[in-house]
Structure 1
Amino acid sequence: EAMMRKGFPLDEVAVIYARHQQVSRLMELLQKKGIPYRTRRAVNVLDLPLIQNLRTLLEYLQAEFVKPYSGEHLLFRLMHFTFFDIRPHDLARLALHLSPDSGQAPARRHFWRDAIAERAFLKKCGLKKPAAVTALSGFLEAMLSEHANCSVPAFIERIVNRSGLLRHLLRSKKGQPLPQGGVYQNLQALYTFLDFVKNEASRNPRMTLARLLEIIENMDANRLSLAIRQSASPASPQEGGTQAVNLLTAHSSKGLEFRTVFLLDCVKEQWEPAKRNGNYQFPFPDTLTLSGETDEMEARRRLFYVAMTRAKEGLHISYAAQNDDGKELQRTAFIDELLPGAKLELRQAAMPAAAIAGAQAVLLMESKPAVEPFDREAVQAVLENFSLSVSSLNKYLRCPLSFYYENVLQVPVVASEAATFGFAMHHALQRGFEQMMLNKAHLYPPPEEFVRLFKMEMERLRGLFSPKEFERRLGSGQDFLRGYYSALAPAWPREVQVEKNFKNVEMNGIPLTGVIDRIDFSGSPDDLKSSGTVHIVDYKTGSQDAAKLRRPSEQYPHGGAYWRQLVFYKILFESWRHHQFRATSAEISYLQPDAKGIFPRKTIAFEPGDTAFMRDLITETYAKIMRQEFYEGCGEPDCSWCSFLHRQGQVDTFSEAEIEELDD
Structure 2
Amino acid sequence: MVDKTKDAQTSLFNEGGITQVAKAMQVLEDLISKVANVTLLNLVEQILQNTGIIQNVLTGKDKGFELDMVSHFFDFIKEETRRHPSLNLTALVDMLKLMRREDIRLPLPITTGNESGVNLLTTHGSKGLEFKHVFLAGTNAHYWEKKRSTASAGYSLPDTVINSLEHTDDKEELRRLFYVAITRAKQFLNISYSQYKGDGKEAEPSQFIIELLEGKEAAIEKMELDPIVKTNYKLLRLQSAPMPEISQMEEDFIQPKLEKFSMNVTALNNYLKCPLHFYYNSLIRVPSGKSEATTFGSAIHDALNKFFKKMQDSAQSEFPDIQTLVQDFNYYMHRHREAFTAQEFKDKMELGETVLIKYYERYINEWNKVVTTEYRITNVVVNDIPLKGAIDKVEFNGKQVVVVDYKTGNIENAREKLKGPNDKNPNGGDYWRQAVFYKILLNHHPKNWEVVSAEFDFVEPNKKKEFEKIAVNITDADITTVTQQVKQVWEKIQQKDFYTGCGKEDCHWCNFVKTNELAVALHEMKSEEEAAEG
TM-score interval, normalised by the smaller of the two chains: 0.5 to 0.7
Contact kept in structure 1, 2:308 and 2:373, CA below 8 Å: yes
The alignment status of 1:494 with 2:494, answered yes or no, reads no
In structure 2, the partner of 1:80 is: 52
Q: Which of the pair has the greater relative contact order for Cα pairs under 8 Å at 6+ separation? A: 1
Counterpart secondary structure, 1:490: coil
Is 2:485 aligned against 1:617? yes
1:418–1:49: structure 2 CA closer, same or farther, 3 Å change rule? farther
Alignment of 1:333-412 (within 5 A): 375-412=250-287
**Counterpart AA for 2:419:** R
State which of 554, 557, 562 in structure 1 corresponds to 2:431: 562
Cα distance change of structure 1 residues 49 and 476 upon mapping to structure 2, 3 Å threshold? farther
Give the equivalent residue in structure 2 for 1:90.
60
Using a 3 Å threshold, how does the CA distance of structure 1 residues 56 and 414 change in structure 2: closer, same or farther? farther
Separation in structure 2 between the aligned mates of residue 630 and residue 375 of structure 1, nearest angstrom: 13
Q: Is the contact between residue 400 and residue 632 of structure 1 (CA under 8 Å) also seen in structure 2?
A: yes
Residues 519, 535 of structure 1: 8 Å contact kept: yes
CA contact (8 A) 2:37 2:341 kept: no
Q: Which residue number corresponds to residue 111 of structure 1?
A: 73
Shift of 1:55: 4.2
C-alpha distance in structure 2 between counterparts of 1:564 and 1:617, whole Å: 10
Amino acid at match of 2:507: C
Give the counterpart of 1:54 among 6, 15, 28.
28
Aligned partners of 2:71 and 2:287 also within 8 Å: no
Which residue of 495, 506, 524 corresponds with 1:627?
495
RMSD: 3.5
CA pair 62-452 structure 1, distance change in 2 beyond 3 A? closer
Contact 1:60 1:75 in 2 (8 A): no
Question: CA separation of 1:98/1:494 partners in 2, compared to 1, >3 Å: closer, same or farther?
Answer: farther
Matching residue's letter, 2:59: H
Structural mapping, 1:131-280, within 5 Å:
145=97
Question: What amino acid sits opposite 1:618 in the alignment?
Answer: V
In structure 2, the partner of 1:452 is 327
Whole-Å separation in 2 of the counterparts to 1:422 and 1:113? 21
2:358 is matched with: 483
Normalising by structure 1, we get a TM-score of 0.46
Matches of 2:392 and 2:373, distance apart in 1: 5
Please tell me the residue identity of whatever aligns with 1:80: G
> For residues 371 and 55 of structure 2, what CA distance do their matches in structure 1 show?
55
Are the structure 2 counterparts of residues 62 and 144 from structure 1 closer, same or farther at C-alpha, using a change threshold of 3 Å?
A: farther
Give the deviation of 1:109 after TM superposition: 8.6
Deviation at 1:482? 0.8
Give the Cα separation in 1 of the matches to 2:515 and 2:71: 32
Shift of 1:142: 11
Whole-Å separation in 2 of the counterparts to 1:643 and 1:383: 25
**Contact (CA 8 Å) 2:375, 2:391: kept in 1 or not?**
yes
Q: Indicate if the aligned counterparts of 1:76 and 1:411 stay in contact, CA closer than 8 A.
A: no
2:294 partner SS: helix
Per-residue CA deviation, residues 202-235 of structure 1 (Å, 9 max, x unaligned), is xxxxxxxxxxxxxxxxxxxxxxxxxxxxxxxxxx
Instruction: Give the 3 Å change call, closer, same or farther, for CA 142–485 of structure 1 in structure 2.
Output: closer
Q: In structure 2, how many angstroms separate the alpha carbons of the residues matched to 1:438 and 1:375?
A: 50
Higher mean Cα deviation, 533-542 or 51-60?
51-60
Can you list the C-alpha shifts for 1:313-372, whole angstroms capped at 9, x where unaligned? xxxxxxxxxxxxxxxxxxxxxxxxxxxxxxxxxxxxxxxxxxxxxxxxxxxxxxxxxxxx
1:374 deviates by 6.6
Distance 1:585 1:85 in 2: 44
Structure 1 distance, partners of 2:75, 2:315, is 51
SS in 2 for 1:455: helix
Separation in structure 2 between the aligned mates of residue 61 and residue 469 of structure 1, nearest angstrom: 15
- Among 523, 536, 541, the alignment partner of 2:403 is 536
Q: Name the CA shift for 1:85/1:401 in 2 (closer, same or farther; >3 Å).
A: closer
Asked if 1 retains the 8 angstrom alpha-carbon contact of 2:27 and 2:51, the reply is no
Contact 2:55–2:516, Cα closer than 8 Å, also in 1: no
Report the counterpart of residue 316 of structure 2 in structure 1. Answer: 441
Match of 2:390 among 515, 520, 544: 515
Which has the larger Rg? 1
Query: Where do 4+ consecutive residues of structure 1 move more than 4 Å?
Result: 48-52, 55-64, 69-72, 140-146
The aligned residue for residue 468 of structure 1 is: 343
Alpha-carbon shift at residue 617 of structure 1 (Å): 0.7
**2:57·2:66 contact (CA, 8 Å) conserved in 1?**
no
Distance apart, 1:452 and its partner CA: 1.2
Partner of 2:447: 579
How far off is 1:144 after superposition?
6.8
For residue 414 of structure 1, report the CA deviation from its aligned partner: 1.0
Residue 53 of structure 1 aligns with an amino acid whose one-letter code is V
The C-alpha deviation readout for 1:66-102, integer Å capped at 9, x for no partner, is: 98x8865345314527xx99474218x43x3367xxx
Unaligned runs of 5+ in 2: 1-21, 77-91, 99-247, 518-534
1:496 counterpart letter in structure 2: V
TM, length-normalised to structure 2: 0.56
What is the percent sequence identity of the aligned residues? 32
Q: Report the CA distance shift for 1:55/1:521 in structure 2 as closer, same or farther (over 3 A).
A: farther
Deviations 1:489-533 (A, max 9, x none): 21111110111122222222212122111100112xxxxxxxx21
Q: Answer with 50-59 or 467-476: which moved more.
A: 50-59
**Shift in alpha-carbon separation, 1:51–1:518, aligned structure 2, 3 A:** farther
Matches within 5 A, 1:303-342: none
Q: Say yes or no: does 1:601 pair with 2:469.
A: yes
8 Å CA contact retained: 1:72, 1:412 = no
Structure 1 CA distance for aligned equivalents of residues 32 and 264 of structure 2? 35
Deviations 1:130-174 (A, max 9, x none): xxxxxxxxxx9899759xxxxxxxxxxxxxxxxxxxxxxxxxxxx
Q: Deviations over 1:463-497 (max 9, x none)?
A: 21101110110011111001111112211111101
**Mapped partners of 2:96, 2:315: distance in 1:** 57
Determine the C-alpha separation between the residues in 2 that align with 1:385 and 1:63: 38
Structure 2 CA distance, aligned partners of 1:522 and 1:85? 52
After superposition, the Cα gap between the structure-2 partners of 1:406 and 1:52, relative to the gap in structure 1 and judged at 3 Å, is: farther
Letter in 1 for 2:290: A
- For 1:77, the aligned partner's letter is Q
1: CA distance, partners of 2:376 / 2:43 = 29
- Aligned-residue offset at 1:51: 5.2
Query: Cα offset for 1:648?
Result: 4.2
Q: What is the DSSP-based 3-state SS (H/G/I as helix, E as strand, rest coil) of the residue aligned with 1:583?
A: strand
With over 3 angstroms needed to count, the CA separation of the structure-2 counterparts of 1:614 and 1:86, relative to structure 1, is: closer
Change (3 A) 1:392 1:59: farther
